[in-house]
Amino acid sequence: MELRELAELGVAIGAEEAERLGSMTDMILEWNKVINVTAIRDRQEFIDKNVIDSLLLADLPEFQAADRILDMGTGGGFPGLPLACVFPDKQFVLVDAVGKKLRVVSDTAEKLGLSNVTVVHARAEDLGRDKAYREAFPLVTSRAVANMSTLCEYCLPFVKKGGYFAAFKTEDSADEIAGASRALSILGGETERTVPDGIEGSGHIFVVVKKTGNCPQKYPRKAGLPSKEPL
């Protein structure tokens, strides 16, 4: 799929945004020769699996309503960076525990002149206790970072009460999603719905969780525990 075909997916993208996404693609692929941020080296495959896949989040009303979005475990900038290219009026906080990948993200954001991107080098478990970030976001998202239960402990502490967490998951994640129900209720979340993304063959769905309560102070637990001993 070409970037200009995105409009057909319901993602409103003008020529300027498509060009910015194209430049972003070139910059990341160039960086990728030096620092491994993605296994995908082919440009078209990169556009399909990283750029367009990321932009599918924009279909959710929860995304459209949010002015500030945190992307946990952004790696080489997905889904946060493509979204920031297309939605300059929304603020994006891109978090990852690995600093070298974030160098690629911040360098790319800077070269593209994106003033709506903030990059934070931290582990979810530590940043989730920081008052400046805790329960401060109307929407938190995450792609390919951890199983749903662990992911809820990484992400729900950042969501404002009444806000949402939207996880990129695969179509075969039903057991994983069901297995996170305890984690959800402990952390103040409630599964709203799962949303097929509408792209044939992409295999991705969104799991949308609403933050209906507050997250107890003891969560997130100390670094490593959410993945070692999922709730």
Shortest Å, Cβ 214 to ligand SAH: 21
Among 74, 141, 149, 173, binds ligand SAH (CB under 6 A): 74
Q: Does 29 bind ligand SAH (CB under 6 A)?
A: no
Q: Which of 208, 207, 209 is nearest to 171 (CA)?
A: 207
Among 47, 70, 93, 97, binds ligand SAH (CB under 6 A): 97
Q: Does 128 bind ligand SAH (CB under 6 A)?
A: no
Q: Does 206 bind ligand SAH (CB under 6 A)?
A: no
Among 17, 24, 25, 75, binds ligand SAH (CB under 6 A): 75
Q: Which residues contact 194 (CB under 8 A, 6 or more apart)?
A: 169, 177, 205, 206, 207, 208
Tokens coding 59: 């279909």
Q: Does 154 bind ligand SAH (CB under 6 A)?
A: yes
Residue whose CB is less far from ligand SAH, 14 or 224: 224
Among 143, 169, 204, 210, binds ligand SAH (CB under 6 A): 143
Q: Does 145 bind ligand SAH (CB under 6 A)?
A: yes
Q: Does 169 bind ligand SAH (CB under 6 A)?
A: no
CA distance 152 to 181: 10
The binding site for ligand SAH (CB under 6 A) comprises 73-76, 78, 95-98, 101, 123-125, 143-145, 154
